[in-house]
Amino acid sequence: MTALGPLTVVSNRLPVVMCQEGPGWKVEPGAGGLVAAMRPILERQGGCWVGWPGAVKEEGGGWEQALAAAGERAGYALEPVVMSRDQYQGYYEGFANSVIWPLFHGFADRCSFVARDFERYQEVNQHFADATMRCVGTQGLVWVHDYHLFEVAARMRDGGHQGRLAFFLHISFPGLENYAKLPWRRELLRGLMAHDLVGFQTARDVRNFVRCAEAFGMCGVLRHEGGQALLVAEDGRQVEAGAFPIGMDFEAFSERASGEEVERRVRDLQDEIGPYRMLLGIDRLDYTKGLIHRLRAYELMLERHPELQEQVVFFQLVVPSRENVVEYKALKREFDRVVGRINGRFSTSGWQPIRYLYNRVDPVELAALYRLAVVALVTPLRDGMNLVAKEYCACQVDENGALVLSEFAGAAAQLGEGAVLVNPYDREATARAIARAVQMDEARRRTRMRQMRQVIAQSDVYWWAERFLEQAQEAPRPGEGFATSAQISVIGPGLGPIAPQP
């Protein structure tokens, strides 16, 4: 990639974890795919990372010097965005996670449309824009990440920024019928159209975005083919939209899974589980993950295939999330209840069909679980990508596992030929798919897993970042006349054009 100079990355959180130790602060490197991808690029090109440091104003300061020192060690600046507790609750817990998250995952009935929360969201996006402008001024490439920060670019344009602005949405983008329910639908679209490049996980997300932007009068369509589109914004700028499926660090996961420490842990896990074949689910506690649907499909599989009873064990790791939110507490209670019922129905003196851990695990334990599992069940009701599916394949160094994957996960677009695809709402079909995956012959299992591993290795997180930045730094090809929504392939029925309100 030919670099144009320093890069500014903007995300909800900084790529570090800050911990108070006595009177001082300790700053440790953050983890995750985004940090892994961005860190080497920023180290090479220089620049700045803008994000929330994890502290609110009411908690006081004292961490600024430690954060600045961490930036000096990293080779790029760390620019903090500090907000009040009220702003954090309205911006993050309120609008971002009680409106955008459920709506964009197809759960409009779970949205809490509170005008004050949107005001807080706008205030915090302005804070992020101001912090970014302090780093980059009116020029320079800026890459904004995810649904927390839809309005940053528009506010930077208002502040006089003339450089290239890019955005990547890590979650899915909803269809028009769902997006139309959002009271602030034009404001968010206008925020996205302030970028030069808007990236999504799949071609379906691109189609949904283009259809919504056109329907609400936010753009004209110059070109739309496959997973790429060229649009004209209200101010006449050309805006590109494209599919850039995010990857993970294939080499790191694969090497860890091949290591001696993981090998030992795999043997110990097998001894703990017993002489059974292990099915695996790994999910954050969230209603989008289809946890209850998965349990009920597994239950039906045991009922319809009694020959698999006392042959398999389903191990479900649930990572705690938003534990103080009422509906998440209710989801955990329901999950516990269903697990107890299924175990009570099928357990024998020496066998229990479900083992369940509500906790976080270290990387070695995670790799061992991935490697031991003969089948991974990745069945979200909706997901932008779902990297668990890719991590499982990366750790399957023996190529002996099978992946049951929801067709509503973004990963299905890349792994569909190797995975066993399911509609997680279809209990009967999902139960059949689980049985099919368990009973798949070894030769076919290896062929399919090898195919998925090759795809994931070739499109890892570093490939994703480089590919996105290459396009973000290039001016789009000229459009060749306008296309209408009728010429755009749209999944599902759609509304007609919606004229902008005066």
Checking if the pLDDT of 495 tops 50, the result is no
In terms of Cα–Cα distance, which of 318, 314, 311 is closest to 282?
318
Q: How sure is the predictor about 30, in pLDDT bands with cuts at 50, 70 and 90?
A: confident
Residues 211-243 have pLDDT tens digits of 999 999 999 999 999 899 999 999 899 999 999
In terms of Cα–Cα distance, which of 56, 146, 35 is closest to 97?
146
Q: How far are the Cα atoms of 123, 257, 302, 329, 434 from residue 313, in angstroms, in the given order? A: 49, 21, 11, 26, 12
Checking if the pLDDT of 488 tops 50, the result is no
- Three-state SS at 57: helix
**CA 388, 382, 120, 48 torsion-angle sign:** positive
Question: Is 500 contained in some domain?
Answer: no
Arithmetic mean of pLDDT, 396-417? 97
In terms of Cα–Cα distance, which of 290, 286, 247 is closest to 410?
247
Arithmetic mean of pLDDT, 59-72? 82
Checking if the pLDDT of 110 tops 90, the result is yes
Q: DSSP assignment, residue 200?
A: E
Q: How sure is the predictor about 32, in pLDDT bands with cuts at 50, 70 and 90?
A: confident
Query: What is the Cα–Cα distance from 377 to 390, expressed in whole angstroms?
Result: 12
Question: Is 61 contained in some domain?
Answer: yes
Checking if the pLDDT of 463 tops 90, the result is yes
Q: Output the six-digit token pair for 422.
A: 């399911």
Arithmetic mean of pLDDT, 381-394? 96
Q: How sure is the predictor about 60, in pLDDT bands with cuts at 50, 70 and 90?
A: low
Checking if the pLDDT of 491 tops 60, the result is no
> What is the pLDDT, as a whole number, of residue 29?
81
Same domain, 219 and 258: no
Burial of 113 (0-12, 13-18, 19+ CB in 10 A): middle
Same domain, 43 and 113: yes
Same domain, 58 and 76: yes
Cβ neighbour number for residue 439 with a 10 Å cutoff: 12
**Has 170 been annotated as catalytic?**
yes
Same domain, 223 and 336: no
β-sheet with 277-284: strand ranges across = 354-358, 312-319, 277-284, 375-378, 402-406, 420-422
Query: What is the Cα–Cα distance from 321 to 97, expressed in whole angstroms?
Result: 12
Residues 326-379 have pLDDT tens digits of 889 999 999 999 999 999 999 999 999 999 999 999 999 999 999 999 999 999
Contacts of residue 139, Cβ cutoff 8 Å, sequence gap at least 6: 161, 162, 163
Checking if the pLDDT of 71 tops 70, the result is yes
Q: Domain containing 50: what range?
A: 7-246+474-487
Question: Is 494 contained in some domain?
Answer: no
Lowest mean pLDDT among 117-121, 150-154, 449-453, 485-489: 485-489
Which run of H or of E encompasses 402? strand 402-406
Average pLDDT over the chain, rounded to whole? Answer: 91
Checking if the pLDDT of 75 tops 90, the result is no
Same domain, 163 and 22: yes
> What is the pLDDT, as a whole number, of residue 498?
40
> What is the pLDDT, as a whole number, of residue 59?
67
Same domain, 160 and 283: no
Q: Output the six-digit token pair for 406.
A: 């929801």
Segments in 180-290 forming alpha helices (H): 185-192, 203-215, 250-258, 260-273
> What is the pLDDT, as a whole number, of residue 298?
98
Same domain, 23 and 77: yes
Q: What angle do CA 470, 225, 210 make, to 5 degrees?
A: 85
Which residues share a beta bridge with 313?
Answer: 278
Q: How sure is the predictor about 478, in pLDDT bands with cuts at 50, 70 and 90?
A: low
Same domain, 339 and 239: no
Whether the CB-CB separation of 228 and 479 falls below 8 Å is answered with no
> What is the pLDDT, as a whole number, of residue 58?
59
Lowest mean pLDDT among 39-48, 131-140, 205-214, 375-384: 39-48
Question: Is 264 contained in some domain?
Answer: yes
Question: Is 465 contained in some domain?
Answer: no
Same domain, 278 and 357: yes
Checking if the pLDDT of 248 tops 50, the result is yes
- Three-state SS at 32: coil
The values of phi and psi at residue 486, to 5°, are -65, -25
Q: How sure is the predictor about 502, in pLDDT bands with cuts at 50, 70 and 90?
A: very low
Which run of H or of E encompasses 165? strand 165-168
> What is the pLDDT, as a whole number, of residue 56?
65
> What is the pLDDT, as a whole number, of residue 414?
96
Looking at the structure of the chain, the number of domains it has is 2
Chain-centroid distance of CA 410 in Å reads 9
Name the more confident of 453 and 31.
Answer: 453
> What is the pLDDT, as a whole number, of residue 62?
77
Cβ neighbour number for residue 387 with a 10 Å cutoff: 24
**Has 105 been annotated as catalytic?**
no
Question: Is 492 contained in some domain?
Answer: no
In terms of Cα–Cα distance, which of 378, 406, 400 is closest to 391?
378
What CATH number corresponds to the domain at position 191? 3.40.50.2000
Active-site option among 170, 195, 224, 293: 170
> What is the pLDDT, as a whole number, of residue 24?
78
Output the DSSP codes for 264-328. HHHHHHHHHH-SSEEEEEEEES-GGG-HHHHHHHHHHHHHH-GGGTTTEEEEEEEE---TTSHHH
**CA 219, 224, 227, 230 torsion-angle sign:** negative
pTM score of the predicted model: 0.92
> What is the pLDDT, as a whole number, of residue 415?
97
Q: How far are the Cα atoms of 3, 177, 293 from residue 374, in angstroms, in the given order? A: 43, 39, 20
Active-site option among 117, 196, 249, 383: 383
With a pLDDT cut of 90, the percent of the chain lying above it is 79
Which amino acid appears at position 136 of this protein?
A: V
Arithmetic mean of pLDDT, 377-388? 96
Question: Is 289 contained in some domain?
Answer: yes
Same domain, 262 and 241: no
Same domain, 224 and 352: no
Same domain, 46 and 122: yes
> What is the pLDDT, as a whole number, of residue 501?
37
Q: DSSP assignment, residue 94?
A: I
Q: How sure is the predictor about 64, in pLDDT bands with cuts at 50, 70 and 90?
A: confident
Q: DSSP assignment, residue 473?
A: T
- Range among 51-55, 262-266, 325-329 with highest mean pLDDT value: 262-266
Q: How far are the Cα atoms of 199, 253, 417, 467 from residue 464, in angstroms, in the given order? A: 11, 17, 21, 5
Whether the CB-CB separation of 12 and 124 falls below 8 Å is answered with no
With a pLDDT cut of 70, the percent of the chain lying above it is 92
Question: Is 193 contained in some domain?
Answer: yes
The values of phi and psi at residue 306, to 5°, are -60, -20
Q: How sure is the predictor about 41, in pLDDT bands with cuts at 50, 70 and 90?
A: confident
